[in-house]
Amino acid sequence: MGWQAAEILLLQSVPGLSARTVLQLVQRYPAFEHFQSALAAGALRQLGLFTDSVLDQARSRARDILQRCQQLGIRIVTVADADYPHLLRHIPYPPVVLYVRGQLQSENVPVISIVGTRRCTLYGRLCAERFSEACVRAGAVVCSGLAQGIDTIAHQTALRAHGITYAVVASGLDRIQPVSAARLAEQILEYGGAVLSEYPPGTRALPAYFPQRNRIISGLARAVLVVESGIPGGALLTAHFAFDQGRDVYAIPGNITSEKSAGTNMLIRRQIATPALSPEDFLADLGLTTLAPAAPAPTFHSPAEERLYALLGSEPLHIDVLSDRAGLPVHEALAHLLELEFRGLVRQLPGKYFIRSA
């Protein structure tokens, strides 16, 4: 019959019983009944944790968790379940329990984790957007940690591209902070994605939980891409977890004078990560192909619009540079660019920088 969620939650609720020991017990005994038999026979007496009163309290705590999950629409997936994520099951010390809202895809759908610093540069933002959208076009799930910066950009870009994204959090699913992250989690669910945690409802995030969360982000994925990271950085920890788990690790090279790229450049230099030089090469390495939508040829309302559009690419250009190269006064160039932006051909970035829309 195997282990039931309530039985595993009971073990997790026993004071002094570590997550590693719970995993070992679930792996050692085919079902809870076998565990009870070993307990009755005194085989686990050395643990000294399973008194009747302790088990009664643990059973009550497990019932409370189950009830709360039912109220919140949270599904409990245990390592003993057939629908536990296949790749995650085989990492060292996988989470015994996953609390899930939303829908996990079948194991034949590739998952790619995109991570990076909370305080990203414009370069990091643009790279995260390009790679996240390309992953969606290739049919992959984009996974990240719902943190500010690169994580949020990866999630939001996947949603704009009508893709599926997973968010792994370091708190209970009812304690996601800040409010902006909680709103993004709801959007992920609306678009058919999933939000996951190994912590039960009511658990607030603590600093020690984030490294544990990172091993799940890497463990779910076929490959991990680090967009930007300083030294030290949580994204570097995710990369090291991925490396130890046998995942493909990639990093986007950055400016050697930028602190935000010191971590990614270090991963490449130490041959922990492969340089990700373009979304197409990155996905080809993984045997995936980007299915870019066929875009109609742009139409222009004036020669000035056409000149400005021709000057733009994926590298941001300032309005002063564009007006100079197009031979137009700044105010005229800006008016034309705003019209192009209104029609979805151009995108304005902070500081009056412009690029072509993807």
| DSSP state string for 96-132 | SEEEEEE-PPPTTS-EEEEE--SS--HHHHHHHHHHH
**Span 250-301, pLDDT tens digits:** 999 999 999 999 999 999 999 999 999 999 999 999 999 876 666 678 888 8
Question: Which residue pairs, CB below 8 angstroms and at least 24 apart, start in 278-287?
Answer: 279/130, 279/131, 279/133, 279/134, 279/135, 280/134, 282/131, 282/134, 282/225, 282/250, 283/134, 283/135, 283/138, 285/248, 285/250, 286/110, 286/112, 286/222, 286/223, 286/248
The pTM of this model reads 0.86
Strands (DSSP E) found in the chain: 75-78, 97-102, 111-115, 141-144, 165-168, 194-197, 223-226, 248-251, 274-275, 317-318, 346-349, 353-356
Tokens describing residue 72 = 């919140």
Topology (CATH level 3) of domain 303-356: Arc Repressor Mutant, subunit A (1.10.10)
Domain ranges within the chain, ordered by starting residue: 1-71, 111-285, 303-356
In the chain, which stretches have pLDDT less than 70?
A: 1, 43-49, 291-295
- Length of the chain (residues): 358
| Per-residue pLDDT, 295 | 64
Q: How far apart are CA 169 and CA 10, in angstroms?
A: 23
Closest-CA residue to 279 (of 173, 164, 134): 134
**Predicted local confidence at residue 54, as pLDDT:** 81
Q: What is the pLDDT of residue 141?
A: 98
Which pLDDT does position 298 carry in this prediction? 86
For domain 111-285, which CATH number applies: 3.40.50.10800, 3.40.50.970, 3.40.190.10, 3.40.50.450?
Answer: 3.40.50.450
**What's the pLDDT tens digit per position in 301-319?**
899 989 899 999 888 999 9
Q: In what order do the strands lie in the sheet with 97-102?
A: 75-78, 97-102, 194-197, 165-168, 141-144, 111-115, 223-226, 248-251, 274-275
pLDDT at 1: 61
d(CA 168, CA 151): 10
pLDDT given for residue 293 in this prediction = 62
